[in-house]
């Protein structure tokens, strides 16, 4: 696993130490494209064993600034999986019902069941990001969420859920470029919102919030990975490679048949 992108538990993270333009772990774009195809194939194979074994589940968490590539990552990395065993959940502004519960209530409901892969487009971390930047709750409340999230994720892993968390790291200039592309392409106009520009004005506040979230919540049981994402092919390659290597390390096994199949004949 490419440890240089993994946030070490207890280490103070600075996003300035991570270059969004970096492609240094790959052998180049063309080689990476071929490797991505192999990893996508392997992911489909591993998903089948995960589903058949029915003992563990995999939770992928994707966080990023607006236009960071969450949708693109889901589209490209998971295009080979069986949709019957994979669920994608996008967490928007909480509903009235959700706000009447603790902030983890809506998250726990969406955690994948055994044998399944769950993908979160945004997640419980919105409650230490958006909530913090926009002062939606007092500081002592959102600061308490770090420990609550860690204990929640520890519980999930103890119950058999493997958690991988990816921060798709883009530069402010790259975000501007992607916003401009959305404005210029009629097929992408629907993805643009003026709210995105308002959030962009808070870029530095979000960077500090992400640094604290990744510092406080990268654990041995649920690590964070900082994925340089200015280059989409490199982003896809790193995410796919990390997922495949993690699943391979689980030594997944097809279950033994429930009876002696050698004695069965199909007539």
pLDDT of residue 257: 86
Q: Which position has the token pair 């089948």?
A: 48
pLDDT of residue 4: 73
Burial class for 30, CB neighbours closer than 10 Å (0-12, 13-18, 19+): exposed
How far apart (Å, rounded) are the C-alpha atoms in residues 37 and 34? 5
Q: Which H, E and C letters describe 1-62, residue by residue? A: CCHHHECCCCCCCCHHHCCCCCCCCCCCHHHHHHHHHHHHHHHHHHHHHHHHHCCCEEEEEE
Please report whether residue 178 resides in a domain: yes
How far apart (Å, rounded) are the C-alpha atoms in residues 48 and 35? 20
Please report whether residue 11 resides in a domain: yes
Please report whether residue 265 resides in a domain: no
Name the residue range of residue 74's domain.
Answer: 3-249
Q: Could you tell me which residues are beta bridge partners of residue 225?
A: 6, 166
**Closest by CA position to 109, among listed 122, 93, 98, 121:** 98
Q: Three-state SS for 101?
A: coil
Q: Which residues of the chain have pLDDT under 70?
A: 1-3
Q: Three-state SS for 87?
A: strand
Q: Which position has the token pair 């995999």?
A: 58
> What is the number of other CB atoms lying within 10 angstroms of the CB of residue 122?
17
Q: Which position has the token pair 């050698």?
A: 262
pLDDT, tens digit, 9 for 90 and up, residues 9-19:
999 999 999 99
Please report whether residue 27 resides in a domain: yes
pTM: 0.95
pLDDT of residue 193: 87
Please report whether residue 262 resides in a domain: no
Please report whether residue 192 resides in a domain: yes
Q: Which position has the token pair 């790259």?
A: 174
Q: Are 58 and 117 in contact (CB under 8 A)?
A: yes
CATH number at residue 220: 3.40.50.300
**Angle, vertex CA 158, rays to CA 236 and CA 227, nearest 5:** 20
- Say how many CA atoms lie within 13 Å of 214 toward its Cβ: 30
Rounded CA Rg of the chain: 20
Please report whether residue 119 resides in a domain: yes
pLDDT of residue 260: 84
How far apart (Å, rounded) are the C-alpha atoms in residues 33 and 68? 20
Please report whether residue 224 resides in a domain: yes
Number of domains in the chain: 1
pLDDT of residue 262: 81
């Amino acid at each position: 696993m490419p440890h240089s992108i993994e946030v070490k538990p207890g280490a103070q993270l600075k996003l300035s130490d991570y270059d969004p333009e970096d492609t240094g772990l790959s052998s180049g774009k063309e080689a990476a494209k071929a490797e991505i195809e192999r990893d996508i194939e392997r992911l489909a194979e591993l998903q089948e064993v995960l589903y058949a074994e029915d003992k563990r589940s995999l939770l992928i968490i994707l966080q990023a600034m607006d236009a960071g590539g969450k949708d693109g990552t889901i589209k490209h990395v998971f295009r080979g999986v069986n949709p019957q065993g994979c669920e994608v959940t996008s967490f928007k502004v909480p509903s009235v019902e959700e706000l009447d519960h603790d902030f983890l209530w809506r998250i726990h409901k969406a955690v994948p069941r055994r044998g399944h892969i769950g993908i979160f487009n945004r997640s419980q971390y919105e409650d230490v990001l958006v909530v913090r930047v926009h002062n939606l709750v007092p500081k002592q409340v959102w600061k308490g969420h770090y420990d609550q999230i860690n204990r929640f994720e520890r519980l999930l892993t103890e119950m058999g859920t493997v958690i991988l968390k990816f921060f798709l790291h883009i530069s402010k200039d790259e975000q501007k470029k992607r916003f401009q592309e959305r404005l210029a392409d009629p097929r992408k106009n629907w993805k643009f919102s003026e709210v995105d520009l308002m959030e962009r004005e808070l870029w530095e506040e979000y960077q500090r919030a992400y640094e604290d979230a990744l510092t406080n919540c990268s654990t041995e049981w649920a690590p964070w990975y900082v994925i340089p994402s200015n280059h989409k092919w490199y982003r896809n390659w790193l995410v796919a490679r990390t997922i495949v290597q993690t699943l391979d390390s689980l030594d997944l096994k097809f279950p033994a048949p429930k009876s002696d199949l050698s004695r069965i004949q199909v007539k």
